[in-house]
Amino acid sequence: DAELDGIAGVLLAARIDGLICTNTTIDRSAIVGARHADEAGGLSGKPLFGKATAVLAAIAKRLGGKIPLIGVGGILSGADAAQKIAAGAIHLSFGSQ
């Protein structure tokens, strides 16, 4: 929470035009036991959806609509897209699967 507070403060002070929220994670807890769980690098796609949407909602609350947010991370259906919009995204980015 403190990190998100700090990030929001910097973003508002810098008056940026928009924010992509989020990209990838190195946390592999969502795929423990999966075939490629031990590979290095950023994890994206469906395993990231919940965490990415939570971060989107948290930063949206802190920014209060002052900066447009682009929701990414695990959007594989219309329902996923609707959840990102409900969390505060005004734009969406769908990755390839």
Give per-residue pLDDT as tens, 29-69: 888 888 878 888 888 888 889 999 999 999 999 999 999 99
Q: Report which of 80, 14, 30, 23 is spatially closest to residue 55, judged by C-alpha positions.
A: 23
Per-residue pLDDT tens digits for 65-96: 999 999 998 899 999 999 999 999 998 887 65
Q: Which residues lie across from 91 on neighbouring strands?
A: 70
